Amino acid sequence: MKLRNDLRNIAIIAHVDHGKTTLVDQLLKQSGTFRDNEIVDERAMDNNDLERERGITILAKNTAVNYKDTRINIMDTPGHADFGGEVERILKMVDGVLLVVDAYEGCMPQTRFVLKKALEQKLTPVVVLNKIDRDAARPEEVVDEVLDLFIELGADESQLEFPVVYASAIMGTASEDPAKQDDDMTCLFETIVNAVPAPQDNSEEPFQFQVTMLDYNDYLGRIGVGRVFRGTIRTGDQAALIKADGSVKKFRVTKLFGFLGLKRLEIEEAKAGDLIAIAGIEDIMVGDTICPVDAQEPLEPVRIDEPTLQMTFLVNNSPFAGREGDYVTSRKLEERLKTQLETDVSLRVENTNSPDVWKVSGRGELHLSILIENMRREGYELQVSKPEVIIKEVDGVMCEPVERAQVDVPEEYTGAIMESLGERKGEMMDMVNKGDGQVRMDFIVPSRGLIGYTTEFMAQTKGYGILNHTFDGYRPVAEGQVGGRRQGVLVSMETGKSTPYGMLGVEERGILFLEPGTEIYEGMIVGEHNRDNDLTVNITKLKQQTNIRSATKESTVTMKRPKILTLEEALEYLNEDEYCEVTPQSIRLRKKILNKSMREREEKKKKLAAKA
């Protein structure tokens, strides 16, 4: 079998924040891909605003470097399980993976998730222990943890013989010795070239290419990115696009692109093993196969994990609708959601009985909140309901998604965490005292029990705890109440502006969510009640002015700092009878029914119906 020894295709996989993107930066710099005088940002691969702000990779990206006589194609993948759809597709394009693990934190929930996907695809692993320069690094123990994880996930013998490279991505160094770092990353480059198999060279056979990612360009339209599995393709060739439903469309290849560094370079031909982009066809989709017109052989479709969480998206109908957004109509919202479907294969959008309402399903809260955040930044106004898990039938039993949660907390908080996750139907799987006053606990928890749990967790651990969780599978639905908000809310009875005087009057009733001078409307949620029932309040009250001077001078009153909710916190906070209104400048919580007497009437109806 002929091999293309001048080429290697690898994906970099890891848990969030273990240093994948920083490692790619160093590989790009040290391979001589950039000119000496070229200015390159840190985390160059994270090129959209949200990725830079949050320090996470959301979209998979590809780049390539030249090392000696070898072209190394590198795929940088997201670490969050919510973007698992991205990871799964990328792994189909490569022959090996760099598994990056933090030399102090060790294996985390998403390490398990991404490694499981790689082992299922029978890819060759190279383990990179990153952050070896940290004072608390424990390389020997972490290598043992990684080996245990490989065994637990059913790795075969060849995969268990993985090479280990000890690296510091931030310093740009790597070595095979945990005690001493070399001056650069030559050791890692050599390990990639020697350990990762070269792609098969079957470029004489009929052409076969599968679309794994989609890109868009104003001049070229949609661009399909993927791997050439066999054969050769040239610009100007006639080709056939085979869709998932078996239909075939003929087209001419107008442009081909290869990758080097952060640039997409126009090329004339590509052959087996190359990762390329093809332009020239409008309705190209992920999973489609491109092949010659006279040799139509589709590749196996790309299998994507199903969504686990759904929300209702609605046109904004609040009293403040249309004030801040450029796009507020149902037509514009529907167009935007359909556009998202073209590049996001893990998303589902369903129409409902109402033309202003859509059911949107995704892989988790982060997946959906990133979509909402992008929409508001683009000028859209919308409302969304509380996230709900998707229940499905497995072998005649109703099952719900469950997550593997890993908790790192100081010892004194273990009791409180065990109790709170126990109430949410969490089952403890493991508990390890790490010896430095820190305890690591593993739980299996229903996904609905973790919706809204982060805020409670941070309060219980006074901000010292770390919670990571990732989708684990489906289990029979847990009986009884699981999670949910315990407190009631403070609801405005008036429309107007919040005043310091009005806010001071209700401060002792709970925690306020807004600053003085904020515009509010009747039915808008302005804070959290101390008790478990909702309370209607008036925080627009002005102090009555009189011309009588007080005998005792008024003392200065200090207001408590309000709790301003982020988008994720607002989505987690919602109850079934509430919406989150999202506009380019504001995030507001509101009751579905704004009028107090109508809400009470509806509540009575529900109680009567429940009795009947």
Predicted confidence (pLDDT) per residue in 169-187, tens digit:
888 888 888 888 888 888 9
Pick from 213-217, 368-372, 376-380, 499-503: least confident: 213-217
Q: Is 21 annotated as a binding residue?
A: yes
**Range with top average pLDDT, 345-354, 397-406, 518-527:** 518-527
Distances 289 to 112, 254, 264, 450 between C-alpha atoms, Å? 30, 17, 22, 39
Q: Is 469 annotated as a binding residue?
A: no
User: If pLDDT is split at 50, 70 and 90, which confidence band does 339 have?
Assistant: confident
Distances 272 to 74, 204, 257 between C-alpha atoms, Å? 16, 9, 15
pLDDT beyond 70 at 190: yes
Q: Residue 326 domain-assigned?
A: no
CATH number of the domain where residue 419 is located: 3.30.70.240
Q: Residue 62 domain-assigned?
A: yes
Whether residues 524 and 461 share a domain: the answer is no
Average pLDDT over residues 114-136: 86
Average pLDDT over residues 295-302: 81
Average pLDDT over residues 32-59: 44
Q: What is the pLDDT of residue 568?
A: 84
CATH number of the domain where residue 496 is located: 2.40.50.250
In whole angstroms, give the CA distance from residue 86 to residue 99.
16
Average pLDDT over residues 355-382: 89
Q: Residue 313 domain-assigned?
A: no
In whole angstroms, give the CA distance from residue 163 to residue 99.
11
User: What is the average pLDDT score of the chain?
Assistant: 83
**Range with top average pLDDT, 172-176, 309-313, 478-482:** 309-313
Q: What is the pLDDT of residue 35?
A: 43
Q: Is 131 annotated as a binding residue?
A: yes
pLDDT beyond 50 at 305: yes
Q: What is the pLDDT of residue 337?
A: 93
Percentage of the chain beyond pLDDT 90 is 21
pLDDT beyond 70 at 84: no
Whether residues 564 and 457 share a domain: the answer is no
Q: What does the angle CA 542 – CA 543 – CA 546 come to, to the nearest 5 degrees?
A: 130
Whether residues 403 and 531 share a domain: the answer is no
Retrieve residue 36's tokens.
Answer: 């000496």
Residue-wise DSSP of 263-288: EEEEESEEETT-EEEEES-TT--TT-
Query: Which domain-ending residue is among 291, 325, 346?
Result: 291
Percentage of the chain beyond pLDDT 70 is 89
User: If pLDDT is split at 50, 70 and 90, which confidence band does 346 have?
Assistant: confident
Q: What is the pLDDT of residue 278?
A: 86
Whether residues 48 and 100 share a domain: the answer is yes
Give the pLDDT confidence of 418-468 residue by residue, as tens digits: 998 888 888 999 898 877 788 889 999 998 888 878 778 877 888 788 887
pLDDT beyond 70 at 497: yes
Average pLDDT over residues 264-288: 83
pTM of the model: 0.76
Q: What is the pLDDT of residue 495?
A: 93
User: If pLDDT is split at 50, 70 and 90, which confidence band does 541 have?
Assistant: confident
Domain of 567 in residue numbering reads as 489-544+560-575+590-611
Q: What is the pLDDT of residue 331?
A: 94
Average pLDDT over residues 309-337: 93
Q: What is the pLDDT of residue 61?
A: 55
- Residues sharing a CB contact under 8 Å with residue 292, sequence separation 6 or more, in sequence order: 206, 207, 231, 237, 238, 239, 240
| Helix axes 109-120 and 84-91, enclosed angle (nearest 10) | 30
Q: What is the pLDDT of residue 42?
A: 44
Q: Residue 344 domain-assigned?
A: no
Q: Is 130 annotated as a binding residue?
A: yes
CATH number of the domain where residue 284 is located: 2.40.30.10
Q: Is 560 annotated as a binding residue?
A: no
Q: Is 20 annotated as a binding residue?
A: yes
Whether residues 189 and 242 share a domain: the answer is no
Q: Residue 302 domain-assigned?
A: no
Whether residues 14 and 155 share a domain: the answer is yes
pLDDT beyond 60 at 24: yes
Q: Is 529 annotated as a binding residue?
A: no
Q: Residue 361 domain-assigned?
A: no
Query: Which domain-ending residue is among 453, 476, 499?
Result: 476
Q: Is 39 annotated as a binding residue?
A: no
pLDDT beyond 80 at 114: no
Q: What is the pLDDT of residue 318?
A: 93
Q: Is 17 annotated as a binding residue?
A: yes
Q: How many domains does the chain have?
A: 4
Whether residue 413 contacts residue 605, with contact meaning beta carbons closer than 8 Å, is answered with no
Q: Residue 1 domain-assigned?
A: no
Q: Is 18 annotated as a binding residue?
A: yes
Where on the phi/psi map is residue 225: left (φ > 0), alpha (ψ -120 to 50), or beta?
Answer: beta
Give the pLDDT confidence of 369-412 residue by residue, as tens digits: 889 988 999 999 999 999 888 898 888 888 998 988 888 888 88
